[in-house]
Structure 1
Amino acid sequence: SVPDVEHEARVPKKILRCREVSREINFSSIEPLERFRIEQRVLFKGRCLEEWFFEFGFVIPNSTNTWQSTIQAAPESQMMPANVL
């Protein structure tokens, strides 16, 4: 991947029924990377609902790296109903 290139992921509605979701991102680099970060935005009908910034810092040259995270669902009263999507 090259800097400032956006990657899109589409997630099925049924994921909203899960109490938590785990994800894994794998990345590698031949060159050293300073201040490597990932920006994630959750868009709904063109509007940003959530935004996260993940700072990895330095990435070792000639390395393959894995980053895992688990996102826990908000209380049901705060969740967007799947039928709205």
Structure 2
Amino acid sequence: MTEVLPVEENREDRVASILQGFQVNWMNLRDADTGKILWQNSEDMSNPDIEHEARVPKRILKCRVVSREMNFSSIESMDRFRLEQKVLFKGRCLEEWFFEFGFVIRNSTNTWQSVIESAPESQMMPANVLNGNVVIETKFFDG
């Protein structure tokens, strides 16, 4: 006789399996107009139990458009891989960004490029005000 697991238990197992088999291999931010890399990191930033710190140069605030490249590996397939980011200033949400990669093939390594357009200069805060006061909360999802 086949035992049928409750849907919630299956879902929790799937989430654990995806998380265990997911890794960010490297990431960079570049000026999309010039292609110049402004920041890069090859540390795995996919562990949700650790707060990861990135020191991004203030000249990124002068860029009209920033390109983010993220290289990741996944043991599990995902139907609709996406990420959501919140830009928090002193705990208050200033911006939210939503990006979708789509289908991820199991046992694959992928490079994902996203483009982020800056706010108009009149809406930008000075770098010295932002320094040390900004947290970018990133969440990965399948579905």
Identify the TM-score tier after normalising by the shorter chain. 0.7 to 0.9
Rate the CA distance shift 1:84–1:75 in 2: closer, same or farther, 3 A: same
Structure 1 distance, partners of 2:101, 2:67, is 18
- Which structure ranks higher in relative contact order (CA pairs < 8 Å, sequence separation ≥ 6)? 1
1:70 to partner: Cα distance? 2.5
Say how many residue pairs are matched.
Answer: 85
Runs of 4+ in 1 over 6 A off after TM superposition: none
Q: Secondary structure at the match of 1:2?
A: helix
Residue identity in the other structure for 1:5: P
Q: What is the correspondence of 1:10-25 to structure 2 with a 5 Å cutoff?
A: 10=54, 11-25=56-70
Rate the CA distance shift 1:67–1:73 in 2: closer, same or farther, 3 A: same
1:9 to partner: Cα distance? 4.8
Q: Equivalent pairs: percent with the same residue?
A: 73
RMSD over equivalenced CA pairs, Å: 2.5
Partner of 2:103: 58
Q: Which of the numbers 19, 22, 46 marks the counterpart of 1:2?
A: 19
Structure with greater helix share of residues: 2
1:33 to partner: Cα distance? 1.4
Structure number with larger C-alpha Rg: 2
Runs of 5+ consecutive residues of structure 2 not aligned to the other structure: 1-17, 21-46, 131-143
Structure with greater strand share of residues: 1
1:34 to partner: Cα distance? 2.2
